[in-house]
Amino acid sequence: MGWMALADQVAEIEQEFIVTNQLGFHARVAAQIVKTASRFRSDIWLIKDETTVNGKSILDVLSLQCPKGATVKVLTRGEDAEDALKAVAELFQNKFGES
Amino acid sequence: MDPRSRTLKGFGVSPGIAIGKAFLVDARHIPIPFYTLSTDEQVARECARFEEAVTEVERDLETIKQSIHPDLKEQVHILEAHQLILRDRLLYDQTLDLIRRERLNALWALKRSLNKITEIFQSMEDEYVRNRVTDVSSVGERIMNRLAGRKANAFDEIRERVIIVAQDISPADAAQIQLEKTLGFITDMGGRTSHTSIMAGALGIPAIVGAEQATRTIRTGDLLILDGSSGTVVVNPTEEQIGDYYELQDALETYLKEISRKAHLPACTLDGHKINVEANIELLEEVVAAKDHGAEAVGLYRTEFSYMNRRLPPTEEDLYNEYRELAELMAPLPVTMRTLDLGAEKMGRWHPGIEQQNPALGLRAIRLCLHHVDLFKVQLRAILRASAATRNIRLMFPLISGVGELQRSKAILEEVKSELRREGRDFDDKMSVGVMIEVPSAVAVADMLAEEADFFSIGTNDLIQYTLAIDRVNEHVAHLFDPLHPAVLRLIRQVVSTAHKAGIPVTVCGEMAGEPLYVPMLLGLELDSLSMNPQAIPRVKNLLRRAQLSDCRRFVAEALTMRTAAEIREALQDMVLRVFPEEFKFFDPEALQPKYRSSEPYV
């Protein structure tokens, strides 16, 4: 395996999202993020202001203060980083299933 | 009178009246033994015991999830969150780690982990996040109960219909409660966004939260009256009180049903005067709530949301798509778009925030837009383009302080229109353009503004702030923020009569419009429409229908001769008591107090 392939494997990508559902990151939303994140092998981090939390820990996610309107950066790192980010992006786009 | 009779106050979060016996949920603390483990064998056994307890709780939660009441479907997600918390590293791994490394017994180790998690959450400013501590402690308590060998379901003992009194009710608890036996809920803890509130609201069961002394004052078997509208609990009431509340219960149920049934009908006063009742919204999704509650227009669409917390300002396409969807969702009913009402300090990352010592008097709203014309033009283009298909958009400029600003804003609007024409893009050329009246100087020159505007919309929040020089967020002066100050009423009166002379309509879109008890005042001041948060619409419409315009006009004429807000308030209370006696019967007359009392607990 060449170094290029290796570099591909540890892909690290990030994207910013705005929390648009009424109540922000509450328990149900956090649960969805964690459940989705846990499906992937990549590390998934949520970053807001100076705080970085593990996207696979519900208490971590809940501890990130994300009211409606907050901007959250999602960073995924690992072999399936792209799919992981896509899956998390979908949650944000669907407003976590809230109207 | 029963010497044990007493009254408690909390936050009424689900209206309705319940009368019945109390059932106090066992809130005994589980004693935590403090001892360390001496052998590796003991450590292994204690770890296994903890793992087993967690597995059992996991199973319990799964069982609860399967058997959940269909109206509580939303709670399934919360139970799922609880299952995740159960296995979260901060709780699960950390507890096992404490047992192994520090040789603590399982209960002690768990307690330590819980305390640490609670600390993290307690340090947060956000009320909603702070409330999540209850999720963690509810999960923790379940494991503790298992470790201590206690029964999993405290509600099994309920044999008759009761009012449940608890420190707090977790969603898992809620799922175990037999709802057919539940008359109401009272909890010590919680605010308006706690699970208990949301759940009780969804089920339509009367509930009071944050009644701090409840579990200490109330014993199982005490007779209770729970008034979920006013947040009052009467413990061991007199026969007379019971009789009164039974009557009230009956009447309130009929009343609330009738109000929401009629929310879709227009609001005409007894003497045939129609007032438009409109909604203030800031998100596209809120259109549904606005329509459901009977809004006849969007009286105020706050456009700031798309601009906040962004790296770059929104593009014309972003805004166009948002506005067009909004217009389509509401069509044929009108949508009033307020152009960007942002302070320079809140412009987000795409523009370095300007430090302003006094933002309320600084570069904000229309001033900011006239300062950043490019930004303003993008929004105006998006609004104009969105108006093409449905032709139901109205435009209004915030914080106009004089004719010059209005002329400048309208000139930019015309420039944008010519640009669009040149590009061959369609828009509603007859779109009405209104002015928000929020600055006292705008009132002074209202006649001149009226010549160049299609409508006025009074933003009472800012108008009161600027007129009385009160920052209502400042706790030292907040109590002086009073919509009934004679100066405020005079200004509103002046705006309305000037506008009507010029033949243009006036709306009030501040919070004052959504307070049902101000209805006679605003009606008598001859406002053409009231715009408010969607939830307030059914009650306001109902009151409008029960009022008589001529009566309110007389009342206002008299109120305007009074010298103090206190005097006016008293007269208004009398008036409301006379015209809408049912409102005083069901809802707290305290609501007529200035809203921002410094003593008011914020939940």
What's the pLDDT tens digit per position in B155-181? 766 778 899 998 888 766 776 777 778
The CATH number assigned to the domain with range B40-147 reads 1.10.274.10
Contact B84 A35 (CB under 8 A): yes
Cα gap B384→B420, rounded to integer Å: 9
Contact A28 B81 (CB under 8 A): yes
CA A93 to chain B, closest CA, distance in angstroms equals 13
- Which of B65, B68, B83, B88 should be substituted to probe chain A, the one whose Cβ sees the most A Cβ atoms within 10 Å? B88
Q: Which residues contact A95 (CB under 8 A, 6 or more apart)?
A: A20, A21, B285
pLDDT over threshold 50, residue B600? no
The 8-class DSSP code of residue B126 comes to -
Amino acid at B107: L
Contact B124 A34 (CB under 8 A): no
Question: Is B42 exposed, middle or buried, given 0-12, 13-18 or 19+ CB atoms closer than 10 A?
Answer: middle
Say yes or no: do domains B303-431 and B436-592 share a fold: yes
B54 touches B83 (CB < 8 A): no
In the prediction, which pLDDT does B403 show?
98
Pull the structure tokens for residue B263: 């929310």
Strand B274-281 relative to strand B298-302, pairing: parallel
pLDDT over threshold 50, residue B596? no
Cα gap B520→B512, rounded to integer Å: 12
Annotated binding-site residue? B493: no
Cα gap B346→B334, rounded to integer Å: 29
The 8-class DSSP code of residue B596 comes to T
Between these two residues, B583 and B262, which has the higher pLDDT value? Answer: B262
**Active centre residues of A (catalytic):** 26
pLDDT over threshold 50, residue B111? yes
Cα gap B346→B500, rounded to integer Å: 36
B535 touches B558 (CB < 8 A): no
Cα gap B369→B411, rounded to integer Å: 13
> Three-state SS for B276?
strand
B96 membership: H or E segment, kind and range: helix B94-101
Strand-pair partners of B163: B22, B184
Cα gap B338→B335, rounded to integer Å: 10
In the prediction, which pLDDT does B388 show?
96
In the prediction, which pLDDT does B71 show?
67
- What are A10-53's pLDDT values in tens digits? 688 999 998 887 777 777 888 889 999 999 999 999 998 888 88
| Multiple choice CATH, B303-431, 3.20.20.60, 3.90.226.10, 3.40.50.80, 3.40.50.300 | 3.20.20.60
B470 closest CA partner among B456, B455, B485 = B485
What predicted TM-score, i.e. pTM, was given to this entire model?
Answer: 0.58
Contact B132 A60 (CB under 8 A): no
- What are B204-232's pLDDT values in tens digits? 788 898 888 888 889 888 999 998 877 88
Contact A59 B128 (CB under 8 A): no
| Total Cβ atoms within 10 A of residue B550 | 13
| Band of residue B385 on the pLDDT scale cut at 50, 70, 90 | very high
In the prediction, which pLDDT does B200 show?
75
Cα gap B592→B573, rounded to integer Å: 7
| Total Cβ atoms within 10 A of residue B29 | 7
Let me know the angle formed at the C-alpha of B308 by B307 and B309, rounded to the nearest 5 degrees: 130
Task: For residue B169, give Cα distances in angstroms to B208, B259, B601.
Answer: 12, 30, 22
The CATH number assigned to the domain with range B436-592 reads 3.20.20.60
In B, which residues are within 8 Å of A69 by CB distance?
A: 305, 308-309
Is A58 near chain B, with CB under 8 Å? yes
In the prediction, which pLDDT does A2 show?
41
In the prediction, which pLDDT does B476 show?
75
**Per-residue pLDDT averaged across B31-43, rounded?**
87
B522 closest CA partner among B568, B553, B494, B476 = B553
Between these two residues, A3 and B483, which has the higher pLDDT value? Answer: B483
- In chain A, the domains with their CATH numbers are 3-97 (3.30.1340.10)
Tell me the CB-side half-sphere exposure of residue B5, using CA atoms within 13 A. Answer: 12
Q: Which residues contact B598 (CB under 8 A, 6 or more apart)?
A: B475, B476, B478, B479
Q: Which residues contact A39 (CB under 8 A, 6 or more apart)?
A: A84, A87
Write down the mean pLDDT value for chain B: 86
- What are B303-347's pLDDT values in tens digits? 987 887 566 888 999 999 999 999 999 999 999 999 999 887 666
Rounded-to-10 torsion of CA B470, B473, B476, B480: 40
Q: B6-27+154-259, which class in CATH?
A: alpha beta
* 3-class SS shares of chain B: helix, strand, coil, % to 5: 55, 15, 35
In the prediction, which pLDDT does A27 show?
77
Locate tokens 């306001």: which residue?
A: B540
pLDDT over threshold 90, residue B438? yes
Cα gap B38→B303, rounded to integer Å: 65
B308 touches B351 (CB < 8 A): no
B457 closest CA partner among B470, B438, B473, B472 = B438
B139 closest CA partner among A59, A46, A92, A21 = A59
Let me know the angle formed at the C-alpha of B439 by B434 and B440, rounded to the nearest 5 degrees: 115
Which residue in the set B85, B91, B128 is minimally distant from A23, CB to CB? B128
Strand-pair partners of B227: B17, B232
In the prediction, which pLDDT does B597 show?
32
Question: Domain residue spans in chain B?
Answer: 6-27+154-259, 40-147, 303-431, 436-592
The 8-class DSSP code of residue B209 comes to E
Which residue in the set B81, B91, B308 is minimally distant from A31, CB to CB? B81
B236 touches B222 (CB < 8 A): yes
